[in-house]
Amino acid sequence: MTEELRKHYTDTIYYDIELTARVMKLLGVQIFDRLALGLSPEEHAALDTIFCHPGICQRDLAKLILKDRANTGRILNSLEEKKFITRVVDIKNNRLIKKMIITDEGNKKLSETNQKIKSYLQNNVSCDFSQEEIDKLQEALRIFRKHLEELVNMNI
């Protein structure tokens, strides 16, 4: 039997990426708790995505943050209660939709949060990769993710 046939799932790149993502998610939760940021990692992801896509609707946001619409709605309710976003009614394809707009307070919170996270990671998470290696890895992961997205049926 060849080595390739004896390879287990835990020996594949898929497992390595999945495990790395799980560890990163745990680290993110711990960093947000440690720094007492006043946002959850999910709220931060949504706020950052709204910043990058002003006027995005809930359905499109859900697709980008990989959450179902119900969870996305709960995240948006929380961000709205904290005055970090506002929702405005608009029409798209002859249907009423709510678009999310980040507020000045939300912009300030996002900037502060991003700076604290960046600073924490730079000071506490050592990485033996050069910036060039990190850039190459990031590009390879984007290409890999794009390929996977073509295979995945995302019912969001």
Whether 150 is covered by a domain: the verdict is no
Whether 136 is covered by a domain: the verdict is yes
Whether 16 is covered by a domain: the verdict is no
Long-range contacts of 9-14 (CB under 8 A, 24+ apart): none
Whether 58 is covered by a domain: the verdict is yes
Which helix (H) or strand (E) segment holds residue 148: the answer is helix 131-151
Q: How many domains does the chain have?
A: 1
Whether 23 is covered by a domain: the verdict is no
CA 120/CA 87 separation, integer angstroms: 32
Q: Which domain holds residue 122?
A: 40-145
Give whole-number Cα distances, 36 to 29, 48, 54, 115, in Å: 10, 18, 27, 13
- Give the pLDDT of the chain (156 residues) as one tens digit per residue: 455 656 788 888 889 999 999 999 999 999 999 999 999 999 999 999 999 999 999 999 999 999 998 999 999 999 999 999 999 988 878 888 889 999 999 999 999 999 999 999 888 877 788 889 989 999 999 999 899 888 887 666
Whether 20 is covered by a domain: the verdict is no
Q: What is the CATH number of the domain that holds 75?
A: 1.10.10.10
Could you tell me which residues come within 8 angstroms of residue 57 by beta carbon, excluding any fewer than 6 positions away? 90, 92, 97, 98, 99, 100
Whether 54 is covered by a domain: the verdict is yes
Whether 10 is covered by a domain: the verdict is no
CA 139/CA 57 separation, integer angstroms: 27
Could you tell me which residues come within 8 angstroms of residue 48 by beta carbon, excluding any fewer than 6 positions away? 110, 114
